[in-house]
Amino acid sequence: MSAENTNYLYNSLIQGDRKGILAIYKLVYPKVQSFVIRNSGAAEDAEDVFQKTLMQLAVRFRQRNTPFTGSFEAYLYTACLNQWRRILNSEKKWVTKQQDLESLHEYQEISISQTEEKEDEEEKWILYREMFELLSDNCKEVLRLLYKKLPYAKICEILGYSSEVVARQRVFKCRKKLSSLIQKDPRYKHIMAQR
């Protein structure tokens, strides 16, 4: 998504522009609905979560009154997923299916309770996700398998590595690359300064 399109969607939400909000729905809502339905919800739940999240973000963005950086689509999608996860956690029904692990492995490390914490976690998730997508396909696959908690022997088998030592070295290099990408991004300093 271009910076121009991100700004358009961001400003549309702040200003309550009907056409822009419709564009937001078309872009993000189908993904949110798919996720909610795969995780113990119905279409009505997805709609409630999406609308509630949009309203919360509109208020937050108006209060912040600063330009938006990053991917608006990823930010909104992540906020909706966090919202649904909190609902499920409060009902003790959170179930992550095996097929969702590939796209949601990072959520294993997210724990949110306070409003400010929620915002910080969403920013961290978005930065992590964007930098993860910059990795090579091989690195992404290696880390996905690792986050699924597969043993190194199984990772070797799936990726055709000659030994567990090779797999461990690859994991180390990929983690180091991801960490480097995150730390070089200007948002990293901003996130760390808020701690």
pLDDT tens for the chain, 195 residues long, are 566 777 888 888 888 888 988 999 999 999 999 988 888 888 888 888 998 888 888 888 887 766 677 788 888 888 898 888 888 776 544 344 434 444 444 433 333 333 445 556 677 777 788 888 888 999 989 988 888 888 889 999 999 999 888 888 888 889 888 888 888 888 777 767 665
Report the b/e string of 33-48 with b at 16+ CB within 10 A.
bebbeebebeeebbeb
Report which residue type is found at 122.
Answer: E
Given the structure tokens 């996130």, which residue do they identify? 191
pLDDT at 6: 77
Task: Choose among 109, 112, 80, 108: nearest CA to 96.
Answer: 108
Q: Residues 6 or more apart from 61 whose CB is under 8 A from it?
A: 10, 13, 14, 68
Indicate left, alpha or beta for 62 from its phi (over 0: left) and psi (-120 to 50: alpha).
Answer: alpha
Task: Choose among 137, 128, 139: nearest CA to 167.
Answer: 139
pLDDT at 194: 60
DSSP letter, residue 27: H
Report the b/e string of 157-194 with b at 16+ CB within 10 A.
eeeebeeeeebeebbeebeebbeebbeebebbeebeee
CA distance 119 to 117: 5
**How much is the pTM?**
0.50
